[in-house]
């Protein structure tokens, strides 16, 4: 068997033909300030970080810091999202702006939301946007519900990754339907990443043990009491879950105990 570091080297996450060592993708929202953002993301080991696209303030302060000064695109793969978009058209416009902003880089996170209470994805609009974007040469990582049929359709439309929710965005409720995720993982050939709903490290580990190719999270790190420490916990959880998946867990034996210590050679019973 390979040494652990060798396993890690040969177990890259491949998205749109590019290799990544880290299977943890992180968002950049909800942090106290840019310094905390930078430190948490560094601790997470993430190489792909999501950003939102928003209007500039008119006449903003000339010296106002910019997120991409803290997270330089030369070091991180910046994954612009369409958070806040409720139609395919708005999502497509947002990502065209993002591509211009990022010097033509085409890797994007598509999310088209259905309503403001649940932030549940609007799948008809997501599919329509995915089709347009793929046609324009975008490499689309699509946030979606955990419906295996729709995940497969996103793949067929040319998405480079599908990203089903574990539970509602920002809810921290963990993986509410592992069986659906399992079906998606079994059927979809492009990378499957759990996006949204992770609450703590064990959730991330479970996602990876199911066979997910990666996990994307934001709030679970940013809203922990100590975000930098939680970022590290998530890094370790994703690595542990991935290794457990690759190692292949023991069979479950619900009705049968099996001692690990020798059954013979015990001292005389008193």
Run of H or E including 20: strand 18-20
Nearer to another protein, 62 or 266 (CB): 62
Round to whole Å and give the CA distance between 185 and 97.
32
109 tagged catalytic: yes
Q: Which residue has the tokens 């992180």?
A: 26
Q: CB of residue 147 vs another protein: minimum separation in angstroms?
A: 21
Q: How far is the CB of 242 from another protein (least distance, A)?
A: 22
Please count the residues of the chain: 270
Q: Which residues bind another protein (CB under 8 A)?
A: 27-31, 37, 50-56, 58-62, 66-68, 78, 80-81, 83, 93, 96-98, 100-102, 169-170, 196, 216-219
> In terms of CB distance, is 109 or 232 closer to another protein?
109
Q: Closest CB to another protein among 39 and 96?
A: 96
CA distance 114 to 117: 9
Q: How far is the CB of 13 from another protein (least distance, A)?
A: 19
If we measure between CA atoms, which residue out of 221, 152, 226 comes closest to residue 185?
152
Q: Which of 109, 131, 235, 252 is catalytic?
A: 109
CA dist list (Å): 169 to 91, 107, 114, 117, 186: 18, 21, 12, 10, 24
- Kindly state the smallest distance separating residue 10's Cβ from another protein, in Å: 30
Please, which residue, 97 or 246, has the CB nearer to another protein? 97
Other CB atoms within a 10 A radius of the CB of residue 154 amount to 29
Between CA 211 and CA 186 the distance in angstroms is 9
Strands 18-20 and 13-15 turn out to be antiparallel
34 and 65 Cβ atoms separated by less than 8 Å: yes
How far is the C-alpha of 140 from the C-alpha of 127, rounded, in Å? 11
Q: Which of 141, 58, 38, 59 is nearest to 98 (CA)?
A: 141
Of residues 122 and 218, the one with the C-beta less far from another protein: 218
To another protein, the closest distance from the beta carbon of 226 in angstroms equals: 18
Catalytic (active-site) positions: 109
């Amino acid at each position: 068997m390979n040494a652990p570091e060798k396993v890690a080297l040969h177990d890259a996450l491949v998205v749109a033909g590019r290799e990544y060592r880290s299977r943890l993708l992180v968002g950049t929202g909800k942090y106290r300030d840019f310094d905390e953002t930078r430190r948490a993301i560094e601790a997470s080991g993430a190489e792909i970080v999501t950003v939102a696209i928003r209007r500039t303030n008119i006449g903003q302060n000339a010296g106002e810091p910019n997120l991409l000064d803290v997270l330089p695109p030369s070091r991180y793969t910046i994954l612009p999202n369409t958070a806040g978009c409720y139609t395919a058209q708005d999502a497509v416009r947002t990502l065209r702006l993002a591509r211009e902003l990022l010097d033509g880089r085409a890797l994007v996170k598509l999310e088209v939301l259905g309503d403001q209470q649940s932030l549940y994805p609007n799948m008809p609009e997501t599919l329509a946007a995915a089709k347009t974007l793929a046609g324009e040469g975008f490499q689309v990582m699509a946030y979606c519900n955990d419906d295996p049929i729709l995940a497969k359709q996103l793949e067929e439309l040319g998405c480079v990754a599908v990203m089903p929710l574990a539970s509602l965005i920002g809810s921290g409720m963990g993986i509410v339907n592992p069986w659906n995720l399992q079906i998606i993982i079994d059927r979809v050939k492009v990378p499957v990443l759990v996006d949204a709903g992770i609450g703590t490290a064990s959730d991330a580990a479970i996602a990876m043990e199911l066979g997910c190719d990666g996990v994307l999270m934001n709030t679970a790190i940013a809203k922990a009491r100590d975000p930098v420490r939680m970022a590290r916990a998530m890094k370790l959880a994703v690595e542990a879950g991935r290794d457990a998946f690759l190692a292949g867990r023991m069979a479950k034996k619900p009705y049968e105990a099996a001692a690990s210590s020798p059954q013979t050679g015990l001292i005389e019973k008193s």
